[in-house]
Structure 1
């Protein structure tokens, strides 16, 4: 009985902690949504937990300053191809590091990992000069193509392939006459999908929220993605925080949807795609 009471008390304490933690995580998002329906005066005066009456006015302010739906389209044009290219080529690179034995493999892998230690901002000046030299300034291409080289995804997927894809499975496919790209596309990539899907979520979020790179490489307002569009809502001399909150709220909707739907895919993939040894 004492053990059962201790177990019950432990569960109650754990659930209480999780509820409090969930509340702390959800509260900023809830307040952001609430503030998107309120005016500047209401936001500056006090904190409310109930919606205001200025949602339509805030939306009209946004529409008067920027084309938020064009920003949505630009973000999708940049983010979706980036995620697809990153997923495929990073998984292909990870497969090479995980299953191919060649001289200097470990050194090359550590070089790839070393690029993760270099802040993106340090290479922007050189990258800008390269983009200008190639005549790609103010286009989507320089925002998409670098995602082919995603060191973080290579590291994560490589570890997953080493643990989940057995050498005997690949050897059996080779004996049956399968080529390397066939093995990757039909065997390795589907089995590595849980890891690829997991990293694709982070790639989507990071690319969707990228502000500094489009700010430097894009000059035409109609090509601005959502972060740049939202930054332009703020005026030169004043800021309508209700409109800014509304813009941010609209911009995170795709992120929430991606996390919800891909989370289900990850769980399903972990169940179906595992290799039994």
Structure 2
């Protein structure tokens, strides 16, 4: 039987959680609602009820050369390709740091931590110059393959392996004649599945919303990502159509919400196991 104080405490906790849920959802709802409102209505104030200007905003959006399908394709290519390469090679690096004992292992991990603390913007000028020398400017290649080096992903996956790694499985597989690459793919990757899904969500969201790096490297409008195309929606100061801008933002956010809904069940499990060492 629950005491009265326990019931009150539970009610307060659920009330707080509902309030936090409301704060998390309301910005997205307002964005979707504003995508159905006219510029005049948006300027008049906040509304939680959708309006009837969705078709008008869509015409405004497409009338300004906003190629939603091109931007969606470019963002998807960059986001999913870079995320796959990042989590795959990061998983391999994390597995090597945990499973193998070699000289300089701790030093190497320390270097990874130091690199993780350095803002990526500091190396952007040098990276752009390097890509210019390699004639890779205005290409997806440096954006995708540049994501392979992900110290934060390596750190998270290493922490996850420290809580779930069993050396006996590796030794048993070796006795059965399985090679090191086979052990990694057949045993370790399935074990790391929750952590890989968690970092996959973070990687896709970060890459999808990445604006600065594509803006620096991409010059052809046909290769622009969705965030770059949304930025182009700003017209002159006398005729800014905020409804069209909100519709463009909604279109750019919607794929992320769908991806999150499919993979969200792994987040709590992955973060919990990755952050605690038993």
Q: Distance in 1 between matches of 2:162 and 2:270?
A: 17
Verify the 8 A CA contact 2:94 2:154 in the aligned structure 1.
yes
For 1:273, the equivalent position in structure 2 comes to: none
CA distance in 2, matches of 1:76, 1:54: 28
Is 1:16 paired with 2:15?
yes
Matches within 5 A, 1:35-184: 35-65=34-64, 66-184=66-184
State the partner residue of 1:197. 197
Structure 1 19/266 Cα, relative in aligned 2: closer, same or farther at 3 Å?
closer
| Structure 2 gap segments, 5+ residues each | 272-277
Deviation of residue 112 (structure 1)?
1.2
Assess if the C-alpha contact under 8 Å between 1:98 and 1:159 holds in 2.
no
CA contact (8 A) 2:198 2:270 kept: no
Q: Distance in 1 between matches of 2:85 and 2:126?
A: 23
CA distance in 2, matches of 1:77, 1:199: 18
Alpha-carbon separation, structure 2, partners of 1:236 and 1:82: 35
Rounded to whole Å, the distance in 2 between the matches of 1:154 and 1:269 is 14
What residue in structure 1 maps to residue 31 of structure 2?
32
Counterpart CA distance in 2 for 1:194 and 1:127 is: 32
Pairwise CA RMSD of aligned residues?
A: 1.8
**Using the alignment, how far apart are the partners of 1:162 and 1:156 within structure 2?**
10
Q: CA deviation at 1:265?
A: 4.9
Shift of residue 262 of structure 1? 0.7
Q: State the distance in 2 between where 1:191 and 1:127 align.
A: 35
* TM-score (structure 2 length as normaliser): 0.93
Structure 1: unaligned runs, 5 residues or longer: 271-276
Distance 2:84 2:44 in 1: 46
Contact 1:99–1:167 (Cα < 8 Å) also in 2: yes
